[in-house]
Amino acid sequence: MIFITYYADLDNDSYGDLSDIGNSLCNDPGVGFSINNTDCNDGNITINPAATESCNGIDDNCNGTADDGLIFITYYADLDNDSFGDLSDIGNSLCNDPGLDFQLTILIAMIKCNQSY
């Protein structure tokens, strides 16, 4: 008789709960179980080792790093909407466009004297 260790898979994404110690069984228990325990968030079907990383501050692919492999761009606050970042802003490195009040600028273009607040 061959025993296989099965792990609880609460979100049914084929990746068992990382914290589950598993049960050795001679028969496949079916839906809700997996032969691995590599899912870092077994309550969310979109988070598992095969998931594609998205810009959300979450480790989608369970490799220990959130938003890895994404392109980050430094944006600077542009409070007067003149397309130049504010000199006093240190910038924010983001993988999503932050919207109207920020501007992607080259560092030299960021340095200007008459920024109104």
Per-residue pLDDT tens for 47-60?
999 999 999 999 99
Report which of residues 112 and 8 the model is more confident about: 8
Distances (CA, A) of 48 to 4, 20, 69: 21, 15, 16
Question: Mean of the pLDDT values across residues 18-22?
Answer: 97
- Which among 49, 39, 57, 112 has a CA at the least distance from the CA of 82? 112
pLDDT at 110: 44
Percent of the chain at pLDDT > 70 equals 82
pLDDT category of residue 2 using cuts at 50, 70 and 90:
very high
* Each residue's pLDDT tens digit, 76-103: 888 887 877 788 888 888 887 666 555 5
